Amino acid sequence: MPATTAEVRLMRRALALAARARGDVCHYPMVGAVVVKNGHVVGEGWFPKPGEPHAEVHALRAAGPAAKGATIVLNLEPCSHFGRTPPCADAVIAAGVKRVVAGMTDPNPLVAGKGFKKLEAAGIEVVTRVLEDECLEFNRVFVKFITTRRPYVILKAGMTLDGKIAAASGDSKWVTGEAARAAVHRMRDEYQAVMVGAGTVRADDCALTARAGKRRHPRPVVVTSSLEIDLKSQVMKTPAEGGPLLFCTRAAEAARIKKFKAAGAEVVVVRKDRDGRADLNAVVDELGALKIASLLVEGGSGLHGALVEARLVDEVVIFVAPKMLGGGVPVTGGSGPARVADGLNLGPMKVKKVGQDLMITARLERPCSRV
């Protein structure tokens, strides 16, 4: 039996519950669950943070004895393996649930349909792919990370109508308005790390902290081939857990690396690309190994251009200010492709007004994983 209209509505409720943990789940998925019996919601829950019970467990606990013979609606397949917590599929079976309505299969290779099979083997009716596209998009950060072991990369920039992020002198205060800058702080609050290049650190001495939302400070990541930034830079004083993360090449002197480590930074040496800079493919691989699943890029023209050329961008967020500079620094640098057809193709744009500026969001035209 397919999902009912009421169950589709409850799936949207499950997504709303899951969203309460946005920014708190790190490299894990956001999951919400609703237990319904005889048309009445008897329990709700969501996965709050790593190490805590999963959404299904919270919802079943809230339902208590009413869970027996009930239906549970959730946006992700219940897990079937032992991790930091026991398998959720076992909890669903033990509670006596008779029907499970799920939004998507868990792309985690440790699950990947095994949770559904365990439920069906226990005699539970399973309905899947309910609002699947919405569920995949909702957890796109998790899907990218768990299937590639690389972070989901968002390139964020504020530019003028003629595509400039700074004047020819390098001055960029302020291209966009106060409302747009506040929106950026809310974005930082939701992502695990924020990356810039050495030039941005030298020019702006940016702290890269989150001054909005829950003030969950992202870990600052600086790509700097020779560690050519000041030891007293604001990024070195970050309150983020783990301290600043610096990526350099073997061009950095050993003594300088030692000084930055002594100052609290984690320094990772990566290979050079063909231009002698830190290879960005190696950088994102290292970030993935550190279980950083979401990366907000707030760099300059050079870093933006290099990421685009390397095809490492998943999503673009551009704030466009009602200004014109004429000359100045473009939003992306580099040589770019010889043909327009070889450019980075993005999907449909979403546009909204943020104060005096426009916020334009577009995602890479690459389908999410469907297990």
Q: Catalogue the active-site residues.
A: 56
Nearest to 14 by CA among 32, 37, 29, 27: 32
What is the residue-wise DSSP string for 55-103?
A: HHHHHHHHHGGGGTT-EEEESSPPP-S-SSS--HHHHHHHTT--EEEES
What SS3 state is found at 31?
Answer: coil
Classified as helix, coil or strand, 111 is coil
Q: Which residues of 253-262 are buried (b: 16+ CB within 10 A; e: fewer)?
A: eeeebeebee
Rounded to whole angstroms, the Cα distance separating 46 from 232 reads 41
Is residue 353 a contact partner of residue 193, using CB atoms and an 8 Å limit? no
Closest by CA to 332, choosing from 346, 345, 318, 347, is 318
d(Cα 77, Cα 106) in Å, to the nearest integer? 5
Please, what sign has the CA dihedral across residues 297, 300, 303, 305? positive
DSSP 313-351: -SEEEEEEES---SSSEESS-S---SSGGGS--B---EE
Burial degree of 147 (CB within 10 A; 0-12, 13-18, 19+): middle
Rounded CA-CA distance 120/118 in Å is 6
* Count of H-run helices and E-run strands, the chain: 11, 16
- State the Cα–Cα distance between residues 63 and 331, nearest whole angstrom: 52
Q: Tell me how many degrees the CA angle 320-325-331 measures, rounded to the nearest 5.
A: 50
